[in-house]
Chains A and B, each alone.
Chain A
Amino acid sequence: MFYREAGQFKSSYKEDQAVFPILQDRVGVGLMLLVAFIGIPLLTSEYFISAIMTPFLILALAAIGLNILTGYAGQISLGTGGFMAVGAFAAYKFATFSIAIGGAETTIPLVVTILLAGVVAALVGVMFGIPSLRIKGFYLAVATLAAQFFIEWVLVKFGWFTNYSPSGIITAPPLEVMGYLFDSPGEKYIFTLSFVAVMALAAKNLVRSHIGRGWMAIRDMDIAAEIIGFRPLHTKLSAFAVSSFFCGVAGALWAFVHLGTVEPEAFGINRSFAILFMVIIGGMGSIIGSFIGAAFITLLPIFLSNVPPMIGWDIGVDMISHMEFMIFGALIIFFLIVEPHGLARLWSIGKEKLRSWPFPY
């Protein structure tokens, strides 16, 4: 009843091929954007915006990146943290480029800096994607850990990347776009959200294009894809490039918007694992799934650790943390058992229900 496309006729190919062909989807996405851009900054607390929403959005962006690679192109990667680190440090180098060469006044605009950082990450991603032409499955997953550890090591080891900071940390410049300073948590949130919204739409568009279909063909059966004319080299490496671009931008945002001062450790191996979990739990091959997965992995533990104090249950923070781990683990297993295809699948089941409500057949 709420979600029925009956009566929505397409009279041109263009309409038929729109990103959101159904009216309700368009309204839904519009509403979500409205809530995200206006509702949340106006209605919620600073804590919610700066400690929950901002990191959630950035990690969701990284999860979209990995989902392109793992969910759409079928290449499991555990190097996400490394590619995020490349993005963060490249952004830092671009941002301080004028200071480093002698303090010229001109700087690269911030948005360009972040996008360039994504491009650098994409190049590095392509480099580490080459082994995927030969190695598959879990073997590839473990091989991408080489990228993770190598990148971390390079960033720690060579002072050039941090402008010779003694402890190997980088400090983000102020977030200024066209003379406007994004300073308060709300402004930073809007800044992040704009990036994430645009890039998520871009990803949504990309995966249904010729390139995206190529990725999916490779994922489903690479030999067959090769036979029908998708070149594995181009297809796999383009997936690595696009994926790493997203991760790189996410990394730059993480450093510049969320933390401000970071060490390479912030993009360690745990980050890579966490993002892979987001993709699997959220749903492989689904953009909305990346958001749901990121919400599950980042918000649920915080929620769990907030519950006992809220209901006045004093069992000590260590006990709360242990409970958090146990319940979190149990919930992962629970959701896998009820819905092995990820939470995004629940989303589409929900849509199906809404369509036939109140007279299911």
Chain B
Amino acid sequence: MEDIIFELQFFLEVLISGLLTGSLYSLVALGFVLIFKASGVFNFAQGAMMLFAALSLVGFQELLGVHWTVAFVMAIAVMVLLAWCVEKFVLGKLVNQEPIILFMATIGITFFLDGFGQTLWGSDIKVMDVGLPTGSFDMGGIFIDKLELVAGFTAGALVLALALFFNKTKIGRALRAVADDHQAALSVGISLRTIWIIVWSVAGLVGLVAGIMWGSKLGVQFSLTLLALKALPVLILGGFTSIPGAIVGGLIIGSGEKLAEIYIGPFVGGAIENWFAYMLAMVFLLFRPQGLFGEKIIERV
């Protein structure tokens, strides 16, 4: 009887940590969604942007000795500047190109940012200290990671804020118009340039927040860029164009991979998390080829 209670409790713990980890993935995935939604660009550089933002924050903190909130504002400024540069030197020159060309261009941005970030701030590991709690607390025998709880709330708040921004503000409506049809948006007087700068800035901000969470967890280092790979299954599951999709996708992938690793893993040798997330996403895709919340693809000959 005690065993059963323990097992149930353990199951609950796995589920909760999976959901929390999933919300951390969502934070990374959100950046992808924002840019894809507004410009149809699959932004390979999101991981690099996240690292670059986090590096800037920690770098300013170390360099100038300022409080992290000041450094945070400065890092946002850096990301806005980056968004401006991306529009000016890359996207602005590639208007009307095929998606795969734009995708390749973001790969160029990735390489550039990786080199640039390390040139500015070095490749050594840096400790991120913005006062986020560490350790875990005990909730009736279930340990919950404090940092992940904060991350979960942050992700939720971010989605809410973004949803309001997209649906209630004028800029948000303009963004949706651009996402629907570039030319139609242009013809009603929406500036494509401004919109792209805004979207890339917001994606940079989301990257910064994700970078803070993951940086507090792992230290700020180059490996953070690899997190982009964790966000991809979340992305296809939720659909490239849906903000709530990123959250729901994150929760499903996070809990799914943890449960699989713990309850299936031991029978096949373990370490199945990585491919399981992709397999899970793929199976979902077989039923809904545009992702859970993606817009229906209509094809005409």
From B94, B107, B119, B281, contact of A319 by CB (8 A):
B119
Question: Are the C-beta atoms of A146 and B119 separated by less than 8 Å?
Answer: no
Whether A314 is near chain B, meaning CB under 8 Å from some CB there, is no
CB-defined contacts of A143 to chain B, threshold 8 Å: 236, 278, 281-282, 285
Question: Are the C-beta atoms of B115 and A337 separated by less than 8 Å?
Answer: no
Count B-side interface residues using an 8 Å CB cutoff: 50
CB-defined contacts of B184 to chain A, threshold 8 Å: none
Digit string of A88-131 for contact with B (CB within 8 Å is 1, else 0)? Answer: 00000000000000000000000000000000000000000001
Closest to A328 in B: B111
Q: List 27 A-B contacts (CB under 8 A).
A: A134-B289, A138-B99, A139-B236, A139-B240, A139-B285, A145-B232, A145-B278, A146-B278, A146-B281, A153-B274, A227-B301, A280-B100, A323-B115, A323-B119, A325-B115, A326-B119, A327-B115, A329-B111, A330-B108, A333-B90, A333-B105, A333-B112, A336-B94, A336-B101, A336-B104, A336-B108, A337-B90
Question: Are the C-beta atoms of A223 and B299 separated by less than 8 Å?
Answer: yes
Whether B250 is near chain A, meaning CB under 8 Å from some CB there, is no
Closest to A338 in B: B93
Q: How big is chain A's contact interface, by range?
A: 35 or more
Q: A residues touching B (Cβ–Cβ < 8 Å)?
A: 76, 131, 134-139, 142-143, 145-146, 149-150, 152-153, 156-158, 221, 223-224, 227, 269, 273, 277, 280-281, 284, 318-319, 321-333, 336-337, 340
Majority SS at the chain B contact face = helix
Whether B291 is near chain A, meaning CB under 8 Å from some CB there, is yes
Digit string of B53-94 for contact with A (CB within 8 Å is 1, else 0)? Answer: 000000000000000000000000000000000000110011
Digit string of B132-168 for contact with A (CB within 8 Å is 1, else 0)? Answer: 0000000000000000000000000000000000000
Closest to B290 in A: A139
CB-defined contacts of B271 to chain A, threshold 8 Å: 153, 156-157
Looking at the assembled complex, report how far the CB atom of A7 sits from the nearest CB atom of chain B, in whole angstroms: 38
Question: Are the C-beta atoms of A142 and B297 separated by less than 8 Å?
Answer: no
Looking at the assembled complex, report how far the CB atom of A182 sits from the nearest CB atom of chain B, in whole angstroms: 36
Q: Which 5 A-B pairs have the closest CB atoms?
A: A325-B115, A329-B111, A329-B112, A332-B108, A146-B278
